[in-house]
């Protein structure tokens, strides 16, 4: 149900949750413009103000001192039936039981008379006693259409400015790109960004770069989501042929052309396997070839100490990811992040339940890449069809894959050795994962650098012999997941070249 529907239905109590107070007020005033409604706003500092909107700007028609809830109730009762009262951030007042009683009486009066009370604020702090009387409604971040319209309006205003008009240079071709780059930002943040660019007399590719930089800072401000740089590509991944083929077939599925032929955006994949086998690398590479933003969720920071904070945090993650979509959302070590069980009063279960529902129901082009190392700790409902498009098992690299991985890291380190030597390294590094191969290359570089010489094959062999592969300590766990492959519950991320193109194992 949207705000207009709620107002038409005369729902007496609404909590419009938003971080954009001004935009929230503008929305209320705009949708009630032709409905013969009188809008008042109240805070203990501002008092009672009658508002209207003129040419997109909020105007104050009248003001009245109204320092407390008791006096506010008296004024509200005297209003006619076509009044909407907007109460902004009343959390301090509602911490007092007496004021909770006053608000309940105001809601009863509103229900009887057709008046409406809208609580406007970011936090959901409605007292439990009042929650059944107040309908919760979220004002999402501006859509891409709203953003593009707003940017054009800001540019038009700048062109009319006598100081800016003669010097301002607008590259109209970047406006769609700028609108995409601004997705996930608030109207106020977009205004500041465009205004700053206009004072530098240009709207061009540099404005797009500035928007991306600003978005990165905003995303990371809460410490839950991190903006990852897309520095990897598909060529940085050794082996994993089946996974790379699956990804390559879906590169264009986020485009307008795919939507026009009825293809839904892919939901995501779950990567099971040993640490260091390239699961995180795949997320970075996929975001890079899609040319979309890569977000990384620090699930451990979802859980807050305040009641309801954890649930609010996960909702904020979903909103942000959807607002800036298309994007890739990476969730590392899923089983560790949500394995607190009942020790936290059920908070982790509620948060995990929210994640499951979102994975199942989301329609926004947010591609989720989740990783897990221990399938025994994953709840069965996570593995149910519909949460992910596919579940892949990332096994220890085969000998051919290890040779590919050695070639990648040797090339990056500018180490040149014979092909036969690389074959030997791939053979003696049996059961090594990609991270361990990288560590062996780095160790040989350090030894050679210390002795002021080039890296020799014997340096690499020595480094390999001094490493105990992680697969030795996770042998039983790997066997368990391999049984999954045989039972058809996951697809292998790598198959040998001669098997490419054959029918792949799918999820049950």
**pLDDT, tens digit, for every residue of 112-166?**
999 999 999 887 788 888 888 999 998 878 888 888 888 988 888 888 887 777 7
Quote the pLDDT of residue 502: 44
Long-range contacts of residues 383-389, Cβ cutoff 8 Å, at least 24 apart? 383/270, 383/489, 383/507, 385/507, 385/508, 386/360, 387/267, 387/270, 387/356, 387/359, 387/360, 388/267, 388/268, 388/269, 388/270, 388/359, 388/507, 389/266, 389/267, 389/268, 389/269
**pLDDT, tens digit, for every residue of 310-320?**
777 888 888 88
Lowest mean pLDDT among 72-86, 390-404, 484-498: 484-498
Counting runs of H as helices and runs of E as strands, what totals does the chain give? 21, 16
Fold of the CATH domain 3-138: Rossmann fold (3.40.50)
User: H or E element: which one contains 5?
Assistant: helix 3-8
Of the two residues 335 and 440, the one the predictor is more confident about is: 440
Residues with Cβ within 8 Å of 255's Cβ and at least 6 positions away in sequence, in order, are none
**pLDDT, tens digit, for every residue of 224-242?**
888 877 667 777 888 888 9
> 4-27 burial, b if ≥16 CB within 10 A, otherwise e?
eebbeeebbbbbbbbebbebbbbb
Token digits for 353? 């339940």
Quote the pLDDT of residue 256: 74
Per-chain mean pLDDT for the chain:
84
pLDDT at 469 over 80: yes
pLDDT band at 75 (very low <50, low <70, confident <90, very high): very high
The domain defined by 399-468 carries CATH number 1.10.8.60: yes
pTM above 0.75, yes or no: no
Quote the pLDDT of residue 184: 77
pLDDT at 220 over 80: no
pLDDT mean over 46-53? 92
Lowest mean pLDDT among 201-210, 394-403, 459-468: 201-210
CATH superfamily of 228-394: P-loop containing nucleotide triphosphate hydrolases (3.40.50.300)
Helices (H), 114-238: 144-160, 162-165, 175-182, 187-199, 205-220
**pLDDT, tens digit, for every residue of 173-190?**
888 888 888 887 888 888
- Count CA within 13 A, CB hemisphere, residue 383: 22
Quote the pLDDT of residue 503: 41
Are residues 10 and 46 in contact, defined by beta-carbon separation less than 8 angstroms? no
Quote the pLDDT of residue 102: 95
* Per-range mean pLDDT, top range of 282-296, 342-356, 439-453: 439-453
């Amino acid at each position: 149900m949207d705000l207009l529907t709620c107002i038409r239905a005369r729902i007496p109590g609404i909590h419009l949750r938003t971080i954009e107070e001004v935009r929230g007020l503008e929305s209320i005033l705009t949708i009630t413009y032709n409905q013969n409604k009188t809008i008042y706003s109240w805070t203990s500092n501002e008092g009672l103000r009658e508002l209207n909107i003129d040419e997109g700007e909020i105007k104050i028609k009248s003001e009245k001192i109204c320092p407390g809830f008791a006096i506010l109730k008296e004024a509200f009762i005297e209003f006619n039936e076509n009044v909407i009262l907007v109460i902004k951030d009343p959390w301090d007042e509602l911490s007092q039981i007496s004021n909770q009683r006053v608000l309940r009486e105001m809601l009863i009066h509103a229900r009887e008379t057709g008046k409406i009370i809208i609580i406007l604020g970011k936090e959901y702090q409605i007292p439990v006693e009042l929650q059944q009387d107040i309908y919760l409604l979220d004002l999402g971040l501006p859509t891409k259409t709203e953003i593009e319209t707003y940017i054009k309006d800001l540019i038009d205003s700048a062109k009319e400015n006598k100081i800016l008009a003669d010097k301002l240079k607008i590259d109209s071709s970047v406006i769609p790109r700028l609108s995409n780059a601004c997705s996930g930002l608030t109207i106020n943040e977009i205004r500041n960004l465009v205004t700053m660019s206009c004072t530098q007399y240009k709207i061009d590719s540099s404005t797009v770069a500035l928007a991306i930089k600003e978005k990165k800072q905003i995303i990371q401000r809460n410490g839950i989501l991190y903006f990852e740089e897309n520095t990897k590509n598909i060529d940085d991944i050794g082996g994993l042929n089946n996974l790379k083929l699956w990804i390559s077939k879906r590169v264009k599925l986020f485009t307008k052309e795919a939507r026009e032929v009825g293809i839904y955006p892919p939901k995501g994949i779950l990567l099971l396997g040993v640490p260091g086998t390239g699961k995180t690398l795949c997320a970075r590479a996929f975001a890079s070839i899609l040319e979309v933003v890569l977000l990384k969720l620090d699930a451990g920071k979802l859980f807050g100490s305040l009641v309801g904070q954890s649930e609010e945090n996960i909702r904020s993650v979903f909103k942000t990811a959807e607002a800036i979509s298309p994007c890739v959302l990476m969730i590392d070590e899923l089983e560790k992040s949500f394995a607190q069980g009942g020790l936290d009063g059920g908070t982790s279960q509620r948060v995990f339940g929210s994640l499951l529902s979102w994975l199942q129901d989301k329609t926004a082009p947010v591609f989720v890449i989740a990783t897990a190392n221990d399938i025994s700790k994953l709840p069965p409902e996570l593995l149910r069809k519909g949460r992910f498009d596919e579940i892949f098992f990332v096994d220890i690299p085969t000998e051919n894959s290890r040779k590919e991985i050695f070639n990648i890291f040797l090339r990056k380190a500018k180490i040149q050795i014979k092909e036969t030597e690389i074959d030997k390294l791939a053979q003696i590094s049996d059961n090594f994962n990609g991270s361990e191969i990288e560590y062996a290359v780095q160790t040989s570089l350090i030894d050679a650098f210390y002795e002021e010489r080039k890296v020799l094959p014997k340096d690499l062999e020595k480094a390999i012999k001094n490493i105990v592969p992680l697969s030795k300590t996770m042998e039983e766990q790997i066997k368990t997941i391999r049984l999954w492959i045989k039972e058809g519950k996951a697809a292998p991320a790598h198959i040998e070249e001669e098997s490419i193109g054959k029918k792949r194992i799918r999820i049950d």
